[in-house]
């Protein structure tokens, strides 16, 4: 089924669609364009497409228009409702799909929605993959994302050369929805890590330490992690612009909590993180980066200015 697609990927004759040009979607699409692929893009905000159009991409007037002209279609949007609209809406992808297309949703969304897309894709004679990613804006720009893959395994093997432009760590997790479940594991880890990281920054500052110096010690010890290396320097610079939005992280935690309830699990730590991030959004930081949790924790400490790092 995928022989022609494999060959056209190899010789760059394949036509690729990209839907969603946000903080991460735009640089990911740019990697494909830079690699010499034919790219057709769509965004609800057409101005976001201009840098790609200036480099040779074409613009699709709807998601259906993108699907009509492309062999492989990537989607990277915000919320499950956006994914649903992009695939199943009146101007969505499934209005124009054809046999042997490969549909790849890289949005973090609900596992059952990934399964629904897979079933509809099968009815249309094409296949789908759910491939949420981790690594934030830095990973997207540098091509160092980690990819959690669910769906048709043969399709995954065949589009591997395309995915390699986003990162080298791409792991097949299982059938449709498995990539999304794996991403929930990732987000649960990050949620707890972020609380500890922010509270460590507040504690160290209150103790009179130079947190730049502290970071040199703990980042290479047992506490070492992506958050310390990439987000703590932003915290120390009081730069809370998004690599990943607070509101999108809340969405991810809600999905993980819903799925855990279906499994009969009660995740106390995740519930706490979700509550703290809800407060962060309520305080007006929903469009800031996830490390803006620090700002909320500072305000919860009764706005004592001595608590800020």
Domain map (residue ranges) of the chain = 3-175, 182-307
71-89: per-residue pLDDT in tens? 999 999 999 999 999 999 9
Mean pLDDT for the chain? Answer: 95
Q: What topology is assigned to 3-175 in CATH? A: Rossmann fold (3.40.50)
Mean pLDDT calculated for residue range 167-187: 97
Summarize pLDDT for 30-67 with one digit per residue, the tens: 999 999 999 999 999 999 999 999 999 999 999 999 99
Give dist(CA 151, CA 141) in Å, integer: 26
Residues 6+ apart with CB under 8 A from 121: 97, 103, 127, 128
Give catalytic residue positions. 183
pLDDT band, very low/low/confident/very high, at 7 (cuts 50, 70, 90): confident
**Looking at the domain 182-307, which fold is it?**
1.10.1040
- Residues with Cβ within 8 Å of residue 234, at least 6 apart in sequence: 240, 241, 289, 291
């Amino acid at each position: 089924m995928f022989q022609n697609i494999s060959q056209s990927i190899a010789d760059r004759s394949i036509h690729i669609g990209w839907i969603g040009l946000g903080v991460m979607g735009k640089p990911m699409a740019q990697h494909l364009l830079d690699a010499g692929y034919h790219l057709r893009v769509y965004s609800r905000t057409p101005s976001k497409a201009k840098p790609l159009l200036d480099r040779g991409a074409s613009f699709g007037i709807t998601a259906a228009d993108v699907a009509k002209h492309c062999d492989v279609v990537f989607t990277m949007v915000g919320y499950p409702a956006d994914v649903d609209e992009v695939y199943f809406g009146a101007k969505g992808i499934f209005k124009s799909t054809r046999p042997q297309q490969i549909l790849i949703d890289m949005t973090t969304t609900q596992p059952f929605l990934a399964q629904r897309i897979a079933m509809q894709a099968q009815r249309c004679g094409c296949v789908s993959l759910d491939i949420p990613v981790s690594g934030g804006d830095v990973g997207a720009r540098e091509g160092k994302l980690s990819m959690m893959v669910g769906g048709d395994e043969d399709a995954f093997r065949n589009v591997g050369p395309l995915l390699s432009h986003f990162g080298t760590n791409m792991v097949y997790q299982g059938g449709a929805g498995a990539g999304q479940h794996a991403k929930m594991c990732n987000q649960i880890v990050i949620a707890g890590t972020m609380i500890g990281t922010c509270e460590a920054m507040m504690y160290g500052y209150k103790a009179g330490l130079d947190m730049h110096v502290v970071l040199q010690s703990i980042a290479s010890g047992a506490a070492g992690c992506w958050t310390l290396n990439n987000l703590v320097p932003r915290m120390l610079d009081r730069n809370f612009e998004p690599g990943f939005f607070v509101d999108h992280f809340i969405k991810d935690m809600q999905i993980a909590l819903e799925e855990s309830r279906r499994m009969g699990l009660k995740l106390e730590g995740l519930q706490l993180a979700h509550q703290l991030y809800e407060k962060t959004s309520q305080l007006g930081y929903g469009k800031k980066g996830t490390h803006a949790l620090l700002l909320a924790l500072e305000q919860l400490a009764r706005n004592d200015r001595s608590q800020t790092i």
